Chains A and B, each alone.
Chain A
Amino acid sequence: MNTQAPSMINADVRFTRVEKKFDTATALHSLDLEIERGSLFALLGPSGCGKTTTLRLIAGFEQPTSGHVYIRGNDVTGVPAYKRSFGMVFQSFALFPHLTVAENVAFGLKMRNVSKADIVTKVAAALDLVELGKLGERYPRQLSGGQQQRVALARAVVFEPDVLLLDEPLSALDKMLREQMQVEIRHLQQRLKMTTVFVTHDQEEALTMSDRVAVMKDGRIQQAGTPREIYDRPRTEFVATFLGASNILEAIVKGKDGTGTILDIAGNTLSVAGVTAEAGAKLCFALRPEKISIGSMDGNQPGGIAASVREAIYRGAQTLLYLDINGMPVNAVVQNAGVEPMNLEPGAAVRLHWDNDNMVALEPAR
């Protein structure tokens, strides 16, 4: 994105035009990024899009090919990792196998020449924070996956770093534990008010945990914003489809009327506000399946757009519908609220309704 947000005054992490090239590939293209103090920021994107590279640039494990990295307003470009102030939780946890839990947590304090007595109290406090107060004498191999995760977390925050970095910290855990840890990490982060950067390729995780999300693709940030902004107002088709399911409606601009732009979508005429385009232009709109509601043809709900059912999949709480509007495929999700099941046999004719405000005009793919 070239639209540069005005610089935040208290940005804890800032990238200006950071580019990272490896021998064979460019991992990041001129990246601008600002992460507000005390917030939890998620980097979301498919495999290979440059999330880990971004995190490693913040850490100092990699240095940018060009551009600058700032932490707490200081230019740290070129400063090696061990001279920066950040805590990191690695994907594999990277607990030192030859040290006990307490020694692992104490490591960062020792490196900072904290006095022995302070180390003892701080380690105990950090272990209490992650509810592992009694396990200090154990070795990492004697802990379960979830416990190891907490030790890694305690080790990363005990010396009160400026920034906490998490690289897919939950991917080594099973689903149940993952959901539990999502909440715990969020609570811990809010309690410590620690600026946190979180890498994930799980969109649900990004939406539930973070204050802000940046969606990345091919070394570029496609869109950054609050989870709600990203989900409700995706700017590109990629963002719309990567976060949850979305219908992409292709429309041809017919002209204007008093309220907005007149569109032709698969033979249906609609009027949408807030879009500027020449007549004859092609536009794409994102429309979430759950924003579509279904009325049957028997006339008690006039209006709407005619469609036919191709397939209906019963999902317990919802029914997933594969629909067809004059040959254009559209998906819808309806809540199974009624007692009587709707007649949604393949071939059934239905009418679709949605609020045109839920149609989000997408930027053309770059």
Chain B
Amino acid sequence: MNPSLSRNSLAWAVALPPLIILALFFVVPLGYLLFISFMTNSATSLFDVQPTLANYTEIFSDSFYWLIIQRTLLSTAVVLILCLLLGYPAAFYAAHLSPRGRLIMLMIMMVPLMVSNVVRAYGWFAILGRRGVLSGTLTGTGIIERPVQYLYSFEAVTLGLLTILLPFMVVSLTNSLATIDKHYTEAAHSLGAGPWRTFLRVTLPLSSPGIASGLMLVTFLALSAYVSIALLGGPRYKLLVSMVFDSVSTFRWPRAAALSFVLLLIAFIIAIVIQLVVRPQRVQGKA
């Protein structure tokens, strides 16, 4: 530690700009949003200063919202499971490549990760749409007779979210798997465990921090990927985040605020479930 730099005045000078920016433009607005979620809807201004729980009670007493919440949970769960089932082998493969090969694999994953979500959603739009690649190929080969609309369905949304979020999972898992000391698996082999048992008893538990952090990242991003959901689900297949957007379009700010916090609540519940199931803390600090 550097005594002169960690001297109070200078240290504060360094810490203040990020602190101020995040306080003013992250903490304050979210606090304000929480405040608004307990205010009354207003036709003329953002809200009426009249404390109420109505925004929340209306959501939870409306069977439509329950349907949306169920749907959101279902699609998130499917995305999480598929991300793990597809991402883990890919990461396992990448982690066992040479350092150079792993670098290339990670680069291939990074490019899509950086491309805007709207572009990637548009890709699926172009594939799954009525005049898209899939429909076109299938009619061309005579498998189906008329062009079919594959968009605006559970499958389309799930597929879109899955492909957008897979790279996050693969990158997170690859880094976690690549840092597992080879000696652990060698030790397991020396003790007579075959490849499968070594994987199940040693590698998998040791990679649990990577699994947990990857799944949590995917959860938060899947729940809030409005644009992808809007493009691929259309007006027919909406998730909770679409409800937030719709409330904004109709200027019902307190309702939008309340829906936001319901969404956050769901995200935290899923995150806790992930922690409980994956139990990363059992190896944290060791792997």
Direct contact of A and B (CB under 8 A): yes
Interface size counted on chain A using CB atoms at 8 A: 7
User: Which residue in chain B gives the minimum CB-CB distance to A83?
Assistant: B4
Q: Is the CB of A63 within 8 A of B4?
A: no
CB distance from A79 to the nearest CB of B (A): 11
| Minimum C-beta distance from A24 to chain B (A) | 14
**CA A63 – CA B4 in complex, angstroms?**
10
Chain A: minimal CB distance from B53 (Å)? 46
Closest B residue by C-beta to A82: B4
A250 at the interface (CB under 8 A from B): no
Alpha-carbon distance between A60 and B3 when the two chains are bound, in angstroms: 8
The residue in chain B whose Cβ has the minimal distance to the Cβ of A80 is B4
A80–B7 alpha-carbon span in the complex (Å): 10
CA of A44 to CA of B79, assembled, Å? 63
The residues of B that contact A60 with a CB separation of less than 8 Å are 3
A61 to B7, CA, bound (A): 11
In the complex, chain B residues whose CB is within 8 Å of the CB of A232: none
Q: Mark A62-76, 1 if CB is under 8 A from B, else 0.
A: 110000000000000
Contacts of A61 in B (CB 8 A): 3
In the complex, what residues of B have CB within 8 A of residue A297's CB? none
* Segment 65-98 of A: residues with Cβ below 8 Å from B: 80-82
Chain A residues contacting B3 (CB-CB under 8 Å) are 60-63, 80-81
Interface string of B1-31 (1 = CB under 8 A from A): 0011001000000000000000000000000
Within 8 A of B (CB), among A275-328: none
From residue A64, how far is it (CB to closest CB) to chain B in Å? Answer: 12
Cα-based distance from A81 to B5 in the complex (angstroms): 11
Contact with B along A124-145 (1 / 0, CB 8 A): 0000000000000000000000
Contacts of B4 in A (CB 8 A): 80-82
Complex CA–CA separation, A121 to B274 (angstroms): 67
The CA-CA distance from A62 to B7 in the complex, in Å, is: 11
A81: nearest chain-B partner, CB-CB: B4
- Given the complex, which residues of A lie within 8 Å of B7, measured CB to CB? 80
By a CB distance below 8 angstroms, the chain B residues around A81 are 3-4
**In the complex, A179→B7 CA distance in Å?**
40
Q: With the chains together, A82 CA to B2 CA distance in Å? A: 12
| In the complex, per-residue mask of B114-153: 1 if CB is within 8 Å of any chain A CB, else 0 | 0000000000000000000000000000000000000000
Residue of A nearest to B2 (CB): A61
Shortest Cβ gap from A2 to chain B (Å): 30
Task: State A63–B8 Cα separation when bound (angstroms).
Answer: 14
Contacts of A82 in B (CB 8 A): 4
Q: Please give, as numbers and ranges, the residues of chain B lying within 8 Å of A80 by CB-CB distance.
A: 3-4, 7
A62 to B3, CA, bound (A): 7
Give the distance in Å from the alpha carbon of A82 to the alpha carbon of B3 in the complex.
11
**Least CB distance, B177 to chain A, in whole angstroms:** 32
A63: chain B residues at CB < 8 Å are: 3
How close is B229's CB to chain A, nearest CB, in angstroms? 49
Which residue on A lies nearest to B3, using beta carbons?
Answer: A61
Query: Using a CB-CB cutoff of 8 Å, which residues 42-63 of chain A contact chain B?
Result: 60-63
A60, B4: Cα distance in complex, Å: 9
Assembled-state Cα–Cα distance A335/B3 (Å): 53
**How many Å lie between the Cα of A78 and that of B4 in the bound state?**
11
Give Cα distance in the complex from A63 to B14, angstroms: 22
User: Measured between alpha carbons, how far is A61 from B3 in the docked complex, in Å?
Assistant: 6
Closest CB in chain B relative to A267 CB, distance in Å: 57
User: Least Cβ distance of B194 to chain A in Å?
Assistant: 45
Q: What is the bound-complex CA distance between A61 and B4, given in angstroms? A: 8
The interface residues of chain B lying within 8 Å CB-to-CB of A62 are: 3
Nearest-CB distance from B4 to chain A (Å)? 5
B196-231 contact mask (Cβ, 8 Å, vs A): 1 or 0: 000000000000000000000000000000000000
Nearest chain A CB to B15's CB is how many angstroms away?
20
A228 CB → nearest B CB, Å: 37
Q: Which residue of B lies closest to A60 (CB)?
A: B3
Q: In the complex the two chains form, what is the Cα distance from A84 to B228 in whole Å?
A: 61
Instruction: Please report the C-alpha to C-alpha distance between residue A354 and residue B203 in the assembled complex, in whole angstroms.
Output: 66
Q: How far is the CB of A18 from chain B (nearest CB, A)?
A: 16
Chain A positions within 8 Å of B, measured between CB atoms, are: 60-63, 80-82
- Please list the 5 inter-chain residue pairs (A to B) with the smallest Cβ-Cβ separation, ordered nearest first: A80-B4, A61-B3, A62-B3, A81-B4, A82-B4
Q: List 10 A-B contacts (CB under 8 A).
A: A60-B3, A61-B3, A62-B3, A63-B3, A80-B3, A80-B4, A80-B7, A81-B3, A81-B4, A82-B4
Contacts A61-B3, A82-B4 supplied; 8 other A-B pairs, CB < 8 Å? A60-B3, A62-B3, A63-B3, A80-B3, A80-B4, A80-B7, A81-B3, A81-B4
